């Protein structure tokens, strides 16, 4: 079965109970919405998720619910998508929630916290542990209804003009970085810059910034970052499982028929699975290409990692004291992480280590 058919079948099943009502025509009105993305069309993983999602919704409603997708800057600047949705300028937006921590630090949870959850834990916390309900309680204060729309998996630490050998090498470094990771690195001497995807390359090329992190090999290659900064550090401790957000005007969401709400939820969840699968399939090939082209893979120094862990958790305590919304969500997510990590350490961590060791040491030849 083709992917589009899977989306249509899943979304149709989700809406079956509502669509079976006698007033069928009234429950399936013709609607056209606009969706503004924070990403350029060249990023077929991020922007592409919007087209996968909009197609799934259209197919499941026989074309009655159409969602027009617009790239960053076509209607709304990349870093103002959530504001536009909350204000009703557009009905929907695809963005990274942590772009808006300047409005409220609790927006960070919709994407990722430094030293936070990995992608599987994010999914479990959001869908099965009450995380999404907590987020929507918070988002409602900003006129938003939120749904996850994909995860990048653990990201790379970024591209640097010079190698980072120790904590001192970060002093005065101007770096493009999103979310609370910038707050942490700032305490290590970095000058963080929040820049939209389409503006990263020219900023790095002109020397406005000295380093930039974005996602991982596939997207980073498309942005051309390896052409300017040869040192590719890993991992991004600030994005162990970065989630993308679909923000919907809360007023418009409440006007939707329940059948359409079910279809939107199901299409968003299916799109999220598709995004993670694309990254896991595309990143290995892209990593080989950028390394062959001269990228130098370097782990972040241990003193940077250890310092960042302490700084992060000191920062969370301070933010919790100042912001009740942050504290409520953080306490919930942190408790989940501690419980989840007990299992992950026994299962995935051990298995992945063993498989990597077996491949590297060629156990099949023993």
pTM of the model: 0.92
Sign for the CA dihedral angle at 273, 104, 39, 162 comes to negative
State how far the alpha carbon of 10 is from the alpha carbons of 131, 185, 268, 275, 333, in Å. Answer: 23, 42, 11, 17, 29
Q: Which CATH class is domain 3-151+240-281?
A: alpha beta
Domain positions in the chain? 3-151+240-281
Residue 343 neighbours by CB under 8 Å, 6+ apart: none
pLDDT at 97: 98
Residue 95 neighbours by CB under 8 Å, 6+ apart: 37, 38, 78, 81, 82, 244, 245, 247
pLDDT at 16: 44
pLDDT at 138: 98
What is the per-residue pLDDT across 310-327, written as a single tens digit (0 to 9) for each?
999 999 999 999 999 999
Please, what's the largest Cα pairwise distance for the chain?
69
For tokens 């990349």, name the residue. 78
| Sheet-wide strand order for 231-234 | 191-193, 174-176, 211-212, 158-160, 231-234, 296-299
Q: Is 18's pLDDT higher than 50?
A: no
pLDDT at 248: 98
Sign for the CA dihedral angle at 110, 114, 115, 120 comes to positive
At what angle are helices 324-346 and 119-128 packed, to 10 degrees?
A: 120
Q: Is 11's pLDDT higher than 90?
A: no
Structure-token pair, residue 191 = 């000058």
What is the per-residue pLDDT across 56-76, written as a single tens digit (0 to 9) for each?
999 999 999 999 999 999 999
CA-CA distance, 131 to 124, in Å (whole number)? Answer: 9
Residue 174 neighbours by CB under 8 Å, 6+ apart: 190, 191, 193, 208, 209, 210, 211
pLDDT at 15: 47
Sign for the CA dihedral angle at 107, 113, 119, 125 comes to negative
Nearest to 63 by CA among 28, 15, 26: 28
CA-CA distance, 80 to 73, in Å (whole number)? Answer: 10
What is the per-residue pLDDT across 167-212, written as a single tens digit (0 to 9) for each?
999 999 999 999 999 999 999 999 999 999 999 999 999 999 999 9
CA-CA distance, 152 to 240, in Å (whole number)? Answer: 9
Q: Is 19's pLDDT higher than 90?
A: no
What pLDDT band is residue 26 in, cutting at 50, 70 and 90?
A: low
Residue 322 neighbours by CB under 8 Å, 6+ apart: none
DSSP per-residue codes, 116-158: ---HHHHHHHHHHSSHHHHHHHHHGGGTEEEEEEEE--SPP-E
For tokens 């079965």, name the residue. 1
What pLDDT band is residue 7 in, cutting at 50, 70 and 90?
A: low
Nearest to 99 by CA among 76, 122, 74, 130: 76
């Amino acid at each position: 079965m083709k992917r589009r058919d899977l989306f249509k079948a899943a979304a149709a099943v989700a809406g079956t109970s509502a669509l079976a009502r006698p007033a069928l025509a009234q429950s399936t009105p013709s609607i056209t919405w606009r969706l503004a993305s924070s990403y350029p069309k060249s990023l077929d993983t991020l922007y592409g998720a919007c087209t996968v999602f909009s197609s799934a919704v259209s197919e499941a409603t026989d074309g009655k619910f159409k969602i027009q997708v617009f790239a960053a800057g076509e209607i709304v600047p990349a870093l103002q998508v959530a504001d536009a949705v909350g204000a009703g300028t557009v009905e929907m937006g695809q963005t990274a929630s942590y772009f808006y921590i300047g409005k409220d630090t609790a927006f960070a949870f919709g994407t990722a916290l430094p030293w936070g959850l990995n992608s599987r834990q994010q999914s479990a916390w959001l869908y099965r542990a009450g995380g999404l309900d907590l987020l929507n309680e918070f988002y409602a204060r900003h006129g938003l209804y939120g749904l996850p729309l994909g995860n990048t998996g653990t990201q790379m630490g970024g591209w640097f003009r010079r190698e980072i050998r120790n904590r001192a090498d970060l002093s005065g470094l101007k770096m493009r970085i999103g979310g609370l990771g910038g707050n942490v690195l700032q305490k290590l001497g970095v000058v963080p810059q929040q820049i939209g995807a389409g503006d990263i390359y020219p900023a790095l090329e002109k020397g406005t910034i000295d380093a930039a992190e974005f996602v991982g090999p596939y997207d980073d290659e498309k942005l051309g970052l390896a052409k300017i900064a040869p040192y590719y550090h890993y991992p991004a401790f600030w994005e162990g499982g970065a989630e993308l957000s679909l923000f919907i005007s809360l007023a418009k969401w409440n006007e939707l028929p329940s059948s359409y709400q079910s279809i939107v939820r199901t299409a968003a969840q299916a799109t999220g699975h598709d995004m993670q699968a694309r990254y896991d399939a595309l990143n290995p090939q892209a990593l080989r290409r950028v390394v062959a082209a001269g990228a130098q893979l370097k782990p972040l120094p241990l003193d940077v990692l250890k310092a960042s862990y302490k700084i992060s958790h000191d920062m969370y305590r301070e933010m919790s004291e100042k912001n009740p919304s942050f504290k409520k969500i953080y306490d919930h997510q942190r408790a989940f992480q501690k419980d989840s990590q007990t299992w992950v350490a026994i299962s995935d961590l051990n298995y992945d280590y063993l498989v990597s060791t077996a491949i590297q040491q060629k156990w099949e030849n023993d």
